[in-house]
Amino acid sequence: MLLADLYPQHIEELTRRHERALTASGYNRVVIFSGAAKLPFLDDNHYTFKVNPHFKHWVPLLEHPHCAIDFRIGDKPRLIYFQPEDYWHKPPEDPQGYWTDCFAIELATSIDEVKAKLAGSLDGCAFIGEERGCLPALPDAQFNPAVLIDELHYYRGYKTPYEAECMRRANLLSAAGHNAARDAFFGGGSELDIHHAYLRGAGVLEAELPYANIVAMNSHSSILHYHGADREPMRPGDIHSLVIDAGADFLGYASDITRTYAFRDGEYAELASALDQVQRTLVDSVEVGKSFPELHWLAHLKISELLQQFGFVEMSAESMVTEGISNMFFPCGLGHFIGLQVHDVGGYLMGPREPAKLRDPRAPYLRLARNVEPGHAVTIEPGIYFMDMLLAELSRSRHSRLVNWEKIDSFRQYGGVRVEDCLLVHDDRVENQSRDAFAALENEGSADISAISTETV
């Protein structure tokens, strides 16, 4: 489906959300700043620019600092488009593409000109951004007002058809990268080789990734957010496993996919296959009206069944969950919202003007506590990990005698297993955007993803 056909409806929905949230919070105007390029301490080379997610919710501009959306109730949104004259860097091109008709666009060639175009009465004006240098006189109370932002974050959980299509394309890019990374792994590549293969397969720069790739071979995969990259290839006999957690970005929308591979047949390969089936079962359990915490605890039960089946723990699955044993092998949450940010916001906001829900102390790292609803985009990512720190804690517990420590020790070399897909919930079905992407690439018989980005932005 063409983005040009979906985008006007997206803007209409954002307009309704912002008018409603502004009115409820006592404002009539909001300035959304794209952000500013930042310098490291004692350096003159800027960090990679990361745009304000509230800004890219409106416009598909990801590399445009010092721009601003100026939205006033009842008016066409204004875009202050910063286009400096610069010979050190490539200046932004003239605004063009399907999105431009939705805005009154005003060009600014200097930061002072941006400030001038935003100047005026600040009564009833809110500001969303990390710093308000373009509105220096703005009162503190109007800077990122929580009551306004919370309502906008709550509704971020509902994806428009435009957003859904962007996320489908992000999953296609990521699936192509994963296929290339898988081939590099089985070809005996190092972690760095696999990372570079992913970038080539997805056709992206490292700076364009929505998050740093996790390319974890062998015991490294016991580290949930492993960001190392061993350079030296291993001897074939020393290669055991790969957990790769890597996403892609399309016009500001993220994908987040994890796959696990065993280098050879054996019990670890069987565990990886069994965990993949558990993940599919959990995906099939996602339905409108179900609470995400309920799905999280179902994941614990299913993981505990595997721990029992593979002889790691001699205890019933139900008792493992009740006694907290499953937390020692699966300490994180089942999944999270995904969209403009990988771990997207609003997971504990239960209503547009309700206080955030308190976290369950039994699941402190679960990022999503809402009921599943149409329009929600979530991830499902169960895992089993053999972490020295948590296993040491388990060894000191009263349940230590029920653990097969010889079996556990034999699996430390593998680190762990994890499988993750991105889902979009519809009224009558759940769309698995990740597995659909892999299937589409397989059916095409090629990992060529060049057509994904051909539509003019």
Determine how β-strand 241-246 pairs with β-strand 249-250.
Answer: unpaired
- The structural domain count of the chain equals 2
**267 and 283 part of one domain:** yes
**280 and 303 part of one domain:** yes
The DSSP symbol for 213 reads: -
Q: Which residues of the chain are modeled with pLDDT < 50?
A: 447
**354 and 436 part of one domain:** yes
pLDDT at 219: 97
CATH number, domain with residue 11: 3.40.350.10
**Alpha helices by DSSP H, 310-411:** 317-322, 388-395, 405-411
Tokens representing residue 132 in the block: 């308000």
pLDDT at 86: 79
- 242: nearest Cα among 418, 382, 387, 437: 418
**134 and 168 part of one domain:** no
Pick from 134, 156, 178: which residue ends a domain? 156
Q: Which residues span the domain enclosing 412? A: 161-453
**335 and 379 part of one domain:** yes
Pick from 114, 136, 156: which residue ends a domain? 156
**224 and 307 part of one domain:** yes
**228 and 126 part of one domain:** no
pLDDT of 148-183, one tens digit each?
999 999 999 999 999 999 999 999 999 999 999 999
**169 and 236 part of one domain:** yes
How far apart (Å, rounded) are the C-alpha atoms in residues 258 and 66? 35
Between the CA of residue 287 and those of 91, 160, 161, 349, 427, what are the distances in Å? 47, 19, 19, 19, 9
Q: Which residues are CB-neighbours of 179 under 8 A, at least 6 positions away?
A: 201, 438, 441, 447
Between the CA of residue 141 and those of 147, 235, 316, what are the distances in Å? 11, 60, 54
- Average pLDDT over the chain, rounded to whole? 95
**166 and 152 part of one domain:** no
CATH number, domain with residue 282: 3.90.230.10
Pick from 156, 180, 198: which residue ends a domain? 156
**384 and 412 part of one domain:** yes
pLDDT at 275: 98
**82 and 190 part of one domain:** no
**251 and 311 part of one domain:** yes
